[in-house]
Amino acid sequence: MSVELEVGRRAVVRVPGSTANLGPGFDTLGMAVSIYDTVEVEVIASGLEVIIHGEGEEDLPRDSSHLVVKALHAGLAAADVTAPGLRLVCTNTIPQSRGLGSSAAAAVAGALAANALAGFPLDEERLVQLSSTFEGHPDNAGASVLGRAVVSWTEIPVDGRSQPVYRAVSIPVHEGIRATALVPDFHASTQAVRRVLPSHVTHTDARFNVSRTAVMTVALQSHPELLWEGTRDRLHQPYRADVLPVTAEWVNRLRNRGYAAYLSGAGPTVMVLSTEPVERGILDEARAAGLTVHELEVAAKPTVQVGTA
Output the pTM of the full model.
0.94
- The span from the first CA to the last CA of the chain, in angstroms, equals 26
The annotation status of 172 as a binding-site residue, yes or no, is no
The reply to whether 265 sits in an annotated binding site is no
Pick from 112, 133, 107, 109: nearest CA to 123: 112
Distance in angstroms (rounded) separating the CA atoms of residues 72 and 113: 7
Mean pLDDT value across the chain = 95
Give pLDDT tens digits for 115-161.
999 999 999 999 999 999 999 999 999 999 999 999 999 998 887 67
Is 96 labelled as part of a ligand binding site?
Answer: yes
Per-residue model confidence as pLDDT tens digits over 53-110: 999 999 999 999 999 999 999 999 999 999 999 999 999 999 998 999 999 999 999 9
Residue 190 has pLDDT above 70, yes or no: no
Confirm whether residue 129 is marked as ligand binding.
no
Could you give the CA distance from residue 268 to residue 263 in angstroms, rounded to a whole number? 7
104 among annotated binding-site residues: yes
Contacts of 48 by beta carbon, 8 Å cutoff, 6+ apart: 63, 64, 69, 85, 86, 87, 88
Is residue 204 predicted with pLDDT exceeding 80?
yes
| Residue 309 to residue 307: CA distance in whole angstroms | 7
User: What domains are defined for the chain?
Assistant: 3-173+298-308 (3.30.230.10), 178-296 (3.30.70.890)
Contact (CB, 8 A) for 33 and 100? yes
